[in-house]
Structure 1
């Protein structure tokens, strides 16, 4: 899939030009335009690749981490800022919940996702217009289904960060189509859910080796369940909980997914596109033929104690949450996910006979760097070897939806439908992989509290915490309890970017 992106990414970009009939218009017969580009299945695949290319803001070398991670992780009680992050006013404002419409990071996040939507809409319309002589019906249906999945995915990411968004459900034909107002939140949820549903009916159940990373039927069903669950928890809608249950059940009973034995291997480049992952951002260190899909995000995440840029660290609350059950794992340690998510001062990381942090102990790394401000550095997403850690950029994949998340969302759905006893085995399956014993308690409240704990430990750094707290109605109180002052009802979402307001006459 990647081979198409750099060939076609610019070719099919949307452009508008004013035309005056009094001037001679000369067109090159060889110039690719939005009208003559779509000739065959190869072109359709190229257009689809452009739609994939906007995933996770992986569109620029420096911007990838600085846009994705600042927008998705900084408004969370699981992180605190490193020293260097304090130098960036727009990052700091996101962390403090006082981001303005002119914030550069949220503006780029908004624009990149709408560019992805625009590309997806072009595929839906243009491939839909192609004849059977140009493309087979089977290929057409699958490509359009992937485009609808991507359109829903980009809208979902926007709706999780903005209270109201612009529903872009077609390919603009001119400047007059650009002006469009925001839609009600419920309308946006309905649109996203409908796109995921439609995609699931036409997508393949699996991909060939050459197409690893593309959305499948199960990818769409996983996100369909998530969209219904999030809608339901925002609105206390039992019908949406039922719809979420149906979607998650299909994924679980498919038998296509299982929990990987090694949690960390899914994040350090060792076990990419594993049996646990439903959707994964495809990166690579291979630069053949001019391709470039690697970034310096490991340097952005790497703690100052290890010579990193010190942009982010684990919060005191996150460390305490991991430790709250004590050393009750099967081998007498804390929850295994703690050691695979954070570097922290502990006998496990200070064993001289077995130095586990790239051949060194925790104290030796941090002591060499002096006295860093933060001593809970993130391990998650850092590469496996010291050689990779010291490179300028890496191309390790990033999981976007994992089976463990599906199991926890399914357990939450069952619990909300008062099927509490049925929910517990799914929680325990996730705990078992972390070396933890079965949960205690059996009431609906017990299960609710356990799910919140598991989602912190399992999904730290994966961008769900802030949205979870908001949809559960716990955002203000929890953030305040954890020392994150500044959050209020008016800061639950980012303001619509100033650039959108200035260019869109339908938005005040």
Structure 2
């Protein structure tokens, strides 16, 4: 039945204590006594739930797609040290749950004799560290299932570049070698690992490796049963999640399983205006972007799927059952990969090839081919297309940072200190300052 792994993994839920690097689920048997690590692997999947709502808010409300109305949540819309007031609601859940996922993954990697389990665990460990690095920059690295309580080295923040090169990339390369091509609902696959590796290369500025890796995904998608859905509206909504040819990997969500917020993740609730912190969350700048797309002479078919008729709320994930939403969080889908592949091609000087990929997405949206011609124009066109295609899917802020477009798109000079988010204060205090705060906070 749907979302089996979450139901199993919920058995391993515990209350976080600090520092989170030192935690392990106390009711999981000692690794020496385990022979089947499926439950521990499921725990690593389960803890990804803790990243969903924070990343949804961080990516779109920090950027120019959505805005907060009620203080102190309005701190997302300005760039000062006061964002730290959102610590306990957003940044600590993300930080804590990713390290729990990492710890569970470490247990599988060290102790399981099942090669597929180990490959899935390496994918999840890489995914967790990728979310941490792009959110917080430098982070501590723990690759042990039984970290020493007296070894402070795992708490010391490592340069983001080292985390990419020494942990995330090798883990994904191993995952690619150990996973099957076919995409399974809610599980890691070779295509998912290849896609994530391409995203990692792009985020770290290695567009040569990004191009070749993403080309493998785009060219191999059909053989793995992955393709663009003809009707954009059929990508979203709980009824479309299981048999969806476009989704490469998603984090499964069930209203019957609690997450860090004590109920099934309601990331979509922020977008539809059901939270008083932002009754009408859609930024007028996003509406203007859709207006500009329509002004090219065709109706952008994504608009009616993404925005309410009045342009004030986001309806991409339709409201269902109050807080008990059943919408999965789409981590990777083919359109995202195609647009990132276009970006890599363009960065490497193949503007014509980039346009070919870009136009696949535009044509699906009912639009004519792009009129961009120069490398600079195509770069802007791809960024604009990613905004419209992937609105409210956790990409916009990170796209702006990756493409050095924060100032031009936000219309102000933003201190680069605020490109990343604050380290949870509780982690700094619990480690007596071994974990340090990001500059500016």
What TM bracket, shorter-length normalisation?
0.7 to 0.9
Counterpart position of 1:72:
59
> Is the contact between residue 346 and residue 378 of structure 2 (CA under 8 Å) also seen in structure 1?
yes
1:139-160 CA distance string (max 9 Å, x none): x111111111111101101111
> Is the contact between residue 299 and residue 308 of structure 1 (CA under 8 Å) also seen in structure 2?
no
Q: Is residue 430 from structure 1 mapped to residue 357 from structure 2 by the alignment?
A: no
Cα separation, 2, equivalents of 1:268 and 1:202: 31
> Is the contact between residue 116 and residue 179 of structure 2 (CA under 8 Å) also seen in structure 1?
yes
> Is the contact between residue 276 and residue 402 of structure 1 (CA under 8 Å) also seen in structure 2?
yes
Displacement of 1:192 in angstroms is 1.1
Q: 1:507 aligns with which of 423, 427, 435?
A: 435
* CA spacing shift, 1:323–1:226, aligned 2, 3 Å: same
* CA spacing shift, 1:475–1:278, aligned 2, 3 Å: same
Cα separation, 2, equivalents of 1:215 and 1:293: 25
Q: 2:308 aligns with which of 343, 365, 371?
A: 343
C-alpha root-mean-square deviation of aligned residues, in Å? Answer: 2.8
Displacement of 1:16 in angstroms is 7.6
Q: Is residue 229 from structure 1 mapped to residue 202 from structure 2 by the alignment?
A: yes
> Is the contact between residue 285 and residue 395 of structure 1 (CA under 8 Å) also seen in structure 2?
yes
1:210-259 CA distance string (max 9 Å, x none): x6210100000000001001111xxxxxxx21211121111112123211
1:419-465 CA distance string (max 9 Å, x none): 11111111111011100011113221221111011011011111211
Counterpart position of 2:312:
376
Q: 1:497 aligns with which of 424, 431, 434?
A: 424
> Is the contact between residue 251 and residue 330 of structure 2 (CA under 8 Å) also seen in structure 1?
yes
Q: Is residue 55 from structure 1 mapped to residue 21 from structure 2 by the alignment?
A: no
> Is the contact between residue 56 and residue 267 of structure 2 (CA under 8 Å) also seen in structure 1?
no
* CA spacing shift, 1:56–1:295, aligned 2, 3 Å: closer
Cα separation, 2, equivalents of 1:447 and 1:322: 18
Which of these two proteins has the greater Rg computed from alpha carbons? 1
SS in 2 for 1:175: coil
The equivalences for 1:279-294 within 5 A come to 279-284=249-254, 294=264
Counterpart position of 2:99:
114
Q: 1:396 aligns with which of 320, 327, 352?
A: 327
1:85-119 CA distance string (max 9 Å, x none): x14x2x33233233455621212221111111111
SS in 1 for 2:394: coil
> Is the contact between residue 45 and residue 143 of structure 1 (CA under 8 Å) also seen in structure 2?
yes
Counterpart position of 1:187:
162
Q: 1:6 aligns with which of 6, 10, 15?
A: 10
* CA spacing shift, 1:294–1:184, aligned 2, 3 Å: closer
Displacement of 1:73 in angstroms is 2.5
SS in 2 for 1:401: strand
> Is the contact between residue 302 and residue 310 of structure 1 (CA under 8 Å) also seen in structure 2?
no
Q: Is residue 39 from structure 1 mapped to residue 32 from structure 2 by the alignment?
A: no
Q: Is residue 456 from structure 1 mapped to residue 431 from structure 2 by the alignment?
A: no
Displacement of 1:262 in angstroms is 1.9
Q: 2:149 aligns with which of 170, 175, 189?
A: 175
The equivalences for 1:195-274 within 5 A come to 195-206=171-182, 212-232=185-205, 240-254=206-220, 255=222, 256=224, 257-273=226-242, 274=244
> Is the contact between residue 57 and residue 270 of structure 2 (CA under 8 Å) also seen in structure 1?
no
Cα separation, 2, equivalents of 1:293 and 1:201: 36
* CA spacing shift, 1:248–1:154, aligned 2, 3 Å: same
The equivalences for 1:84-163 within 5 A come to 86-87=70-71, 89=72, 91-98=73-80, 99=82, 101=84, 103-104=87-88, 105-127=90-112, 130=113, 140-163=114-137
> Is the contact between residue 341 and residue 379 of structure 1 (CA under 8 Å) also seen in structure 2?
yes
Cα separation, 2, equivalents of 1:32 and 1:303: 39
Displacement of 1:15 in angstroms is 10
> Is the contact between residue 296 and residue 394 of structure 1 (CA under 8 Å) also seen in structure 2?
yes
Q: 1:326 aligns with which of 294, 318, 332?
A: 294
TM-score by structure 2 length?
0.85
Q: 440-449 or 149-158, which moves further after superposition?
A: 440-449
Cα separation, 2, equivalents of 1:217 and 1:470: 27
Counterpart position of 1:23:
none
Segments of 5+ residues of structure 2 without an aligned counterpart are 437-441
> Is the contact between residue 297 and residue 393 of structure 1 (CA under 8 Å) also seen in structure 2?
no
> Is the contact between residue 302 and residue 365 of structure 2 (CA under 8 Å) also seen in structure 1?
yes
SS in 2 for 1:400: strand
Cα separation, 2, equivalents of 1:223 and 1:377: 30
* CA spacing shift, 1:144–1:412, aligned 2, 3 Å: same
Cα separation, 1, equivalents of 2:49 and 2:383: 25
SS in 2 for 1:399: strand
Segments of 5+ residues of structure 1 without an aligned counterpart are 18-30, 59-63, 131-139, 233-239, 346-374
SS in 2 for 1:463: coil
